[in-house]
Amino acid sequence: MSVLAAALLVAPPLGAQSFSFGAVRVEGNQRIEESTILARLGISRGQTVTAGELNAAAQQLRASGLFETVEVIPQGSTLLVRVVEWPTINRISFEGNSAIRDEALSALVGSVERRVFSPTQAEQDAEAIARAYAERGRINAVVVPAIIRHPDNRVDLVFQIAEGGITEVERISFVGNRAFGDRRLRGVLETRQAGLLRQIIRADTFVADRIAFDRQALTDFYRSRGHADARVTSVDVNLTRERDAYLITFTVEEGQQFRFGEVTVTSAIPEADPALFRQVVRTRPGQVYSPLLIENDIARIENLAIRQGIPFLRVEPRITRDDRNLLLAVEYALVPGARIFVERIDIEGNRTTLDRVIRSQFRTVEGDPFNPREIRESANRIRALGYFVDAEVEARQGSGPDQVIIDVNVEEQPTGSLSFGANYSTDYGPALLASLSERNFLGRGQDLAFELQWGRDNQLFSFDFTEPQFLGRDVAASIDLLYRTTQRASALYDTDVFRFSPSLTFPVSERGRLELLYALDYSDITNVDDEASDIIKAEAAEGGVLTNALGYTYSFDTRRDNLETPTRFFFRFGQEFGFGDSSFIRTRALASAETRILAEEVTLRATLEGGLLDYSEGASRVTDRFFLGSRVMRGFERGGIGPRDADTDDALGGNAFAVLRLEAEFPLFLPEEYGFSGGAFIDYGSVWDVGDLRGVPEDRVLYNDFTPRTVAGLSLFWTTPIGPLRFNFSRPIDVEEFDRPNNFDITVSTRF
């Protein structure tokens, strides 16, 4: 008799016979009580039953799932019930798996060791394992559950796995797109075509749930660019004849691009003055239509209403179409909202992360008016933390009709990393690297990072710690510690630099942040060679210098409003006011703009960066002044331009620098799934002004005045699993005699 069969034997011929048994005897049971078997059988002593009822009772006993076989045998006035119980699982194992570890597979199965074996459960487990392989692109994986019998009615449950090969996404194409090319649209999707690094990158495998996400992402992309009627009408997913690759086709209807028409605010609430609320609306007529702009306006209006003491104000965006002129007029109607309150917020699934970390992402607390938009934004902020695989935030009825309960269900994921590897930069050369980072330290939402670099002539130790919700506020408190030492790093002297800097960072506007900091700096110049510049010798003779500084940095970033737009701006301005062994003001600024053109296939960037070091007491040293490395101005070595000692050729650095960087990034005629793109750039700038020459004649310092350099070049960008790499091939246009050009530079980081 087979393992999965259950037999019912009844003495022939039964026909329409009736039976009455004076006794019922049970045989074969070991773990299951006889009373339990009789209760499930449903036949008692002296009861008259037909053959059909006897058969139904046996079927009912078999359907309990407790027995491998069941026999019901009438023997005169006695009914014999003979059973064989399902065995106990001794051990669960997996064979043939390499792509998924045993630990991950064990988490998928419902069968449990030392519990009763269930063939139905084993089949369900096999299906779950097969689905896990399918999500990793192995749709041809075969999983077969098998048992190995042992004495005492025990078995080993073995899942025999034939993983098969990866079924990749070979091609993603689009039908109906005119405003944007296939390459740009593929960049919107999470699914990727199989590329050069297909064995490393998992995004080139087909996952059904990811397609649904991609469909929505594609729709959002079009609508954020004014195509208000855009929709994805269908997504066709087909396998090649060999079943080794997927072909995915998105069919889109773009519709026309709309712009905003008249933007107004009306109010049905007496205490809500439309003119006041119109002041916080940022959308302007003529802008390309985007639902995200409307969402941001609504958020600003509702926040103002709370500050004005109007808690239940709701905003209804009423849109009027002008198809002839392709305009969408928006009326923000201020209307009374339902008087519903948040009863409580329940959080589940967080084993490590503290409740308060998740609650800090809510602008709403228990007892506040319920705002559905705010709850959606809170869910987005929780997901953006990066602590969770997924986070679901839903509202349900509370204890009364005017109460709601917010349920938060999260699934945590690893947030830390320990890395050992190698690092290379054109400024400092190769170095061994060890780093430890934790983005959710002790489940408190704190950032902790430690890094150690050890190179031939450059060593670095850094420690950073950030509390993002200092004192329960939207204030980030940080402590940064850095120690760097160099031994003859392209110079005839050694340096030691130490910096300790606590800081507070907080928002001052929707897109602006302000950082307030204190810095303790120590620098020393040692082991100066006899052939070094007299300026450096004089600076080294001053010994170690200890300074204190108070400072601030203001930054403005258009990306902070969650708008993925073709044009972006970034601005940063900071100053440090030093006191101690010397007094100074150090100023640095950076302004950058980026825009996409030619159907967003080409990206243009312009960046202006500069710095100024002004001493009112004391003087700058080579450890304080600015040196332009490849990250600031390409085409030259670190210290390759700027003031130099005419006799020793030592780079001295400068108290001022300014650099303008212009570049374009464009696609190459290569499959974009390989991650390559091209670029062209031109940099124009200089570093100048050594300051106090320590008695050295001015004619011994070259390029101490503003002496501009220009360099042009080409770039190759490569997006890899270890991070983006950039290869620059440059050629100086304006160059001085003693400059040190560098026609090629690359920043490479590998970790293992």
pLDDT digits (tens, 9 = 90+) for 517-531: 999 999 999 999 989
Task: Give pLDDT, residue 563.
Answer: 63
Task: Give pLDDT, residue 750.
Answer: 41
Look up residue 699 and give its two tokens.
Answer: 């004619």
Of residues 458 and 235, more confidence is placed in 235
State mean pLDDT over 372-395: 89
Write the pLDDT tens digit of every residue in 31-60.
777 888 888 888 877 788 888 888 888 888
Look up residue 490 and give its two tokens.
Answer: 């392209």
Look up residue 96 and give its two tokens.
Answer: 């043939």
Q: Per-residue pLDDT for 69 more than 80?
A: yes
Of residues 410 and 5, more confidence is placed in 410
pLDDT bin (cut points 50, 70, 90) of residue 196 is: low
Task: Give pLDDT, residue 445.
Answer: 92
Residue 102 pairs with which residues in a beta bridge? Answer: none
Instruction: Compute how many other C-beta atoms are within 10 angstroms of the C-beta atom of residue 372.
Output: 12
Angle in degrees, CA 711, 658, 740, rounded to 5: 40
Task: Give pLDDT, residue 660.
Answer: 97
Task: Give pLDDT, residue 693.
Answer: 93
* pTM greater than the 0.85 cutoff: no
Of residues 658, 640, 706, the one with CA closest to residue 491: 640
The total number of residues shown for the chain amounts to 752
Write the pLDDT tens digit of every residue in 256-289.
999 999 999 999 999 999 999 999 999 999 999 9
**Cα distances (Å, whole numbers) of residue 597 to 606, 625, 637:** 14, 39, 33
Q: What is the DSSP letter of 673?
A: G
pLDDT bin (cut points 50, 70, 90) of residue 29 is: confident
Q: In terms of DSSP bridges, do strands 403-412 and 341-348 run parallel, antiparallel, or are they unpaired?
A: parallel
483: left (phi over 0), alpha (psi -120 to 50) or beta: beta
Q: Which of 91-100, 557-566, 628-637 has the lowest mean pLDDT?
A: 557-566
Task: Give pLDDT, residue 85.
Answer: 80
Q: Per-residue pLDDT for 3 more than 50?
A: no
Task: Give pLDDT, residue 414.
Answer: 87
Q: Per-residue pLDDT for 752 more than 70?
A: no
Task: Give pLDDT, residue 427.
Answer: 59
Of residues 722 and 330, more confidence is placed in 330
Using DSSP's 3-state secondary structure scheme, residue 202 falls into helix
Top mean-pLDDT range of 231-240, 387-396, 475-484? 475-484
Q: Per-residue pLDDT for 368 more than 50?
A: yes
Task: Give pLDDT, residue 616.
Answer: 92
Task: Give pLDDT, residue 202.
Answer: 47
Q: What is the DSSP string of 469-493?
A: TGGGSS-EEEEEEEEEEEESSSSSS
Task: Give pLDDT, residue 386.
Answer: 87
User: How many CA atoms, within 13 angstroms, populate the side-chain half-sphere of residue 706?
Assistant: 8
State the Cα–Cα distance between residues 569 and 608, nearest whole angstrom: 12
Write the pLDDT tens digit of every residue in 536-563.
999 999 999 999 999 999 999 987 666 6
Task: Give pLDDT, residue 282.
Answer: 92
Q: Per-residue pLDDT for 200 more than 60?
A: no
Instruction: Compute how many other C-beta atoms are within 10 angstroms of the C-beta atom of residue 567.
Output: 12
Q: Per-residue pLDDT for 242 more than 80?
A: no
Write the pLDDT tens digit of every residue in 716-729.
998 776 667 889 99
Q: Per-residue pLDDT for 2 more than 80?
A: no
Q: Per-residue pLDDT for 342 more than 70?
A: yes
Task: Give pLDDT, residue 721.
Answer: 64
Of residues 167 and 733, more confidence is placed in 733
Domains of the chain as residue ranges with CATH:
18-85 (3.10.20.310), 88-162 (3.10.20.310), 168-253 (3.10.20.310), 259-336 (3.10.20.310), 341-412 (3.10.20.310), 504-751 (2.40.160.50)
pLDDT bin (cut points 50, 70, 90) of residue 16 is: low
Q: Per-residue pLDDT for 1 more than 70?
A: no
Q: Per-residue pLDDT for 12 more than 60?
A: no
Q: Per-residue pLDDT for 370 more than 60?
A: yes
Q: In terms of DSSP bridges, do strands 429-441 and 446-455 run parallel, antiparallel, or are they unpaired?
A: antiparallel
State mean pLDDT over 212-217: 91
Look up residue 286 and give its two tokens.
Answer: 């003529």
Q: Per-residue pLDDT for 573 more than 90?
A: yes
Torsion of CA 58, 62, 64, 66, to 10 degrees: 130
Of residues 113 and 196, more confidence is placed in 113
Burial class (CB in 10 A: 0-12, 13-18, 19+), 738: middle
Task: Give pLDDT, residue 423.
Answer: 66
Of residues 481, 552, 479, 473, the one with CA closest to residue 515: 552
State the Cα–Cα distance between residues 149 and 359, nearest whole angstrom: 52
User: How many CA atoms, within 13 angstroms, populate the side-chain half-sphere of residue 123?
Assistant: 4
Beta strands in 647-708 (DSSP E): 656-667, 676-688, 701-702
Task: Give pLDDT, residue 79.
Answer: 84
77, 144 Cβ separation under 8 angstroms = no
State mean pLDDT over 160-187: 89
The mean pLDDT of the chain is: 87
State the Cα–Cα distance between residues 76 and 576, nearest whole angstrom: 104
State the Cα–Cα distance between residues 202 and 46, nearest whole angstrom: 67
685, 633 Cβ separation under 8 angstroms = yes
